[in-house]
Structure 1
Amino acid sequence: MKHVASSSLLSLSLSLTALLGGCLEPMADRPSLARRDVELRDRQAEAKAPPPPIESVTDPALARDLTALLARADKAEADFAMARSAAQQAVAAAKNASVGSEAWSVAQTRISALDAPRRELTQLLGDLEVLYVARLEKEAAGEIKAGGAAQVEQTRSHVLALVDSQDSVITMLKSGLAS
């Protein structure tokens, strides 16, 4: 029994030495866990900011595409605002309601109705990503004049801020219900 205990103790001490040795490696070789600039951006302010001016786009086809995409974003945001109002009222009515009650179910349904306009914006983000990559490829190949990709990126950032804002609203409404 004494031999087994000393063997286990030796094994444990070797394991601890190996683990502690890993802690002593230089930190420069590891990625930083500090917040990146993109994580520090104020998406709420970006969502409230007006979209980039389309008039500055020199390519008429790109200007037309961006105008259509921004119109879709505006409609999705307006639809979300209408559904948000109904969801806020339903959540307020279900404030002290128990899970599964009629008021709670109505509030859940109203919150779920927010997904449709939010989904439209996320699909729009995908369309903007495709447009951005295609634009970059054409600019790199010299097929078109440079500069349009930056306008697409500004539009994408605006729509992403709208999505983030909508996510915050949905999270807030869900937290207002009993679970």
Structure 2
Amino acid sequence: MSLRNLKSFSTIGLLAMLAGCANSAGSYPSLEMRPGERVSGTFEPPAPEAPPPPPAVASAELVARLAELRAEASAAHGDFLEAAPGARRRASAAAGSAIGSDSWASAQVALADLDSARSRAAVPLGTLDILYVDASIANEARSEIDSVRNAVIAMLEEEDAVLAQLRANVR
């Protein structure tokens, strides 16, 4: 097939396509708005949501339980602080000593005693965490729980710092 035949076929095809587009019947759809496109009715703004109720005041039972947990943590913290100087002496004596030596073993026992006192202070924190979650779910008073919880966390952070320092001496 020659180039000339190809040009004539493409010209004929182009003319046939243009002839299909030329319709003189005038049956095109109108571009005016249809009834379904018209807006009718009115929008009502959504009702504003009611704000959540303010948290309730802590009950007397909760206040008593919080005081009990704080006292329990404070007693354990007091035991920790009482045992800390002896453990500090033993850890200082064990500094640089070989693992398994008498001074090293004595320091390990003192550190274990401190860990035990710290664990007793951490038990009330677990209970406080449960109380806090329950109060959050029920939208009850949390500020009282939070203040006691923060006090116990501060005690534990102080104990953790002492333990870290003593463990660094013993290694």
User: What TM-score range do you get, normalising by the shorter chain?
Assistant: 0.5 to 0.7
Higher relative contact order (CA 8 A, sep 6+): 1
1:118 aligns with 2:111: no
What residue ranges of structure 2 are gaps of 5+ in the alignment?
Answer: 1-56
1:165 aligns with 2:161: no
* Identical-pair percentage: 29
Mapping 1:54-93, distance limit 5 Å: 59-93=59-93
Separation in 2 of the partners of 1:98 and 1:154? 44
Q: Secondary structure at the match of 1:157?
A: helix
Normalised to the residue count of structure 1, the TM-score between the two structures is 0.60
Letter in 2 for 1:121: A
Query: In the alignment, is the contact (CA less than 8 A) between 2:91 and 2:104 conserved in 1?
Result: yes
Q: Secondary structure at the match of 1:113?
A: helix
Query: In the alignment, is the contact (CA less than 8 A) between 2:74 and 2:121 conserved in 1?
Result: no
Q: Secondary structure at the match of 1:155?
A: helix
Q: Secondary structure at the match of 2:98?
A: coil
For residue 58 of structure 1, report the CA deviation from its aligned partner: 5.2
Normalised to the residue count of structure 2, the TM-score between the two structures is 0.62
Separation in 2 of the partners of 1:58 and 1:174? 41
Radius of gyration: which is bigger?
2
Query: In the alignment, is the contact (CA less than 8 A) between 2:70 and 2:124 conserved in 1?
Result: no
RMSD across aligned C-alpha pairs, in angstroms?
1.6
What residue ranges of structure 1 are gaps of 5+ in the alignment?
Answer: 1-56, 141-145
Question: Deviation per CA, 1:89-148, whole angstroms, max 9, x where unpaired?
Answer: 11122234222210111011101111111111222111001111122233x3xxxxx5x3
Separation in 2 of the partners of 1:173 and 1:99? 15
Match in the other structure for 1:134: 134
More helix by share: 1
Separation in 1 of the partners of 2:58 and 2:156? 28
Q: Secondary structure at the match of 1:78?
A: helix
Q: Secondary structure at the match of 2:142?
A: helix
Aligned length: 115
